[in-house]
Amino acid sequence: MTRVIITGLIACAMTGAIGYLLLPVLRALKAGQSIREVGPTWHNSKAGTPMMGGLMFILAAVLCLAFSIPAMNDYSVFYVLGLGLCFGLVGFLDDFFKAKFKRNLGLTSIQKALLQMAVTALYLYLLYLQGTLQSSIYIPFLNRSFDIPLMLYIFFAMFVMVGCVNAVNLTDGVDGLCGSVTVPVMVFFTAAAVMMRKLELALLPACLAGGLIAYLFYNWHPAKVFMGDTGSLFLGGIVCGLAFALNMPLVLIMVGLVYIVETVSVLLQVGYFKATHGKRLFKMAPIHHHFEMCGWKEVKIVIVFSAVSAAMCLLAWFSISGLR
């Protein structure tokens, strides 16, 4: 456990140092964010804020794990890291096209979806080849696992992973929101992996918990840098990858509640808009923008949403108590 904590602290320091060096480079490259025309008008002042800040905690996590290799007995953590990096690469392409063409939209929705499904399918196939793909699902609170047919499990896993990645991406819409909401999620997975004696796997969420804390010094309102799709898709891949690596995908319902609510708010908004021929259920979706339109300050939104995330992670911890 001491090793896990020290690794998290080192990742925090490394993220801060990388951010100090990276931020001037992003500014020089003019890799700035374009703001949606339909978004809150007060977000226009954020135009030009550097993107791809997610590289800070991504590089720190990769370096920390690389330095830890000599002391490792199990290298399965690199499957999860690889999954996150592949999703992060999809996000990087999206950010690159946004910056290159100075527009809010990079890759098309179809391009993103196809790339994300390809990444997920490749990840599951590699697990299958290694013989580590389990077709059982752990039920929180009941402390029981149920076996399901392998093909059904694969379709379930693909649906959950792609959905989770995009849900985390939707949460990155207010200064500090995605990072703050994800810190308790990473703390939960660190504690869960330690409890299950998967110490090498615990290193990754520990690195990201520390890295995100340092990143928030740059991303807290008013943000000096945004993580971009590079960071948010990477985080989404890590969140779902850890859930499946620990064989507890259903725990995402609790630890990822904020992500889920953000996604559901968009689906409800679109469905209601089409059903009523132009009426809106929320003032704006995702739901964090609805609260902005209601007069909430960005800092208040971040604090409330992060508190909900922390409370749900605590509930999730009690739900897996049977694994101790």
Reduced to 3 states, what is the DSSP secondary structure of residue 137?
A: strand
Give 263-318 pLDDT, tens digit per residue: 999 999 999 999 998 899 999 999 999 999 999 999 999 999 999 999 999 999 99
Please count the other Cβ atoms lying within 10 Å of the Cβ belonging to residue 34.
17
DSSP secondary structure letter of residue 322:
G
Query: pLDDT tens digit string along 147-198?
Result: 899 899 999 999 999 999 999 999 998 999 999 999 999 999 999 999 999 9
pLDDT tens digits for range 2-23: 889 999 999 999 999 999 999 9
Segment 77-95 mean pLDDT = 93
Rounded mean pLDDT, 58-78: 92
Q: What percentage of the chain reaches a pLDDT higher than 70?
A: 93
Mean pLDDT of 115-135: 87
From the list 131, 121, 134, the residue with the least C-alpha distance to 83 is: 121
Give percent of the chain with pLDDT exceeding 90.
70
> Domain boundaries in the chain?
2-323
Look up residue 131 and give its two tokens.
Answer: 């013989």
Give the Å distances, CA to CA, from 289 to 9, 116, 188, 296, 305.
Answer: 33, 26, 27, 9, 12
Q: How is residue 180 written in tokens?
A: 């703050």
For 52, which DSSP code?
Answer: -
